Structure 1
Amino acid sequence: MKTCSYCQDTAFEDMEVCYGCLHPFEKRLELLPLLCDEQGDTVCLNVELAGVFAYKIHLLKTEGALLTVGKSSRNAIVIPREEIADHHLDIFFSQESLWAECKGRHKAFLDGMTLTGSHALQKGCKLTVGAAVITVV
């Protein structure tokens, strides 16, 4: 048996992808670039799980643009952990700013402080949801 570095699920040695999160075992996530190219019409978010860089997401700077975070596969950012709600967090663009709002009954943190209600995000802000860290770059 082997353990997925992304979601910590166990898998048989001959499996090429984790059935818990679909992470390919041969892919070395820590070698991916950590910074996004500067784009004038998007905001970039780096997503790390269990301390390993997983991927980056660009969110259009348009009113109503939305990213959802949670353990349900219907979310833009899926965190397959028990302590995460199905729909845990919204990250959205409104009033020319990027915002985060906790939706789950479990906690989320913004720069180490408990996130309650909606909060504006700045470059360098870190949202922590369970084992995931989402950084605005």
Structure 2
Amino acid sequence: MASDRRRFLLSGAVLLSVLAVAAAALESVKDECQPGVDFPHNPLATCHTYVIKRVCGRGPSRPMLVKERCCRELAAVPDHCRCEALRILMDGVRTPEGRVVEGRLGDTRDCPREEQRTFAATLVTAAECNLSSVQEPGVRVVSPDDG
């Protein structure tokens, strides 16, 4: 009888361990943010226009309306995925074939990409959209060129 009880307790302990490992694995997957899964593909299309207007001075004549739409788009992205959505806005998504799709800010002589990146990283701050994110007060996005 003591042997059966010991087996039962051991089986329970093993089951709890398996459940704990499974829960940890699910939590780590939850923290990953994938376009098309955790948020829509190219979720910040209006933010692209807003960044160009603010940094380059080109675009719509009513930047505050564009800013409001951008902030709504950014607010619709789960807060733990906002930095990833901004990274996609800045750098795009690289396909397995090596092509860059979605997002990706341009680079011109009169409107350098790095200045656009710097401004785009501030979109979650109080001065812009006033949103929370995992990496407040700004987003530190490492360029693929940074290594």
**Superposition TM-score tier, normalisation by shorter sequence:** under 0.3
Q: Name the one with the larger strand percent.
A: 1
TM-score by length of 1: 0.26
Greater helix share, structure number: 2
The two structures have a TM-score, normalised by structure 2, of 0.25
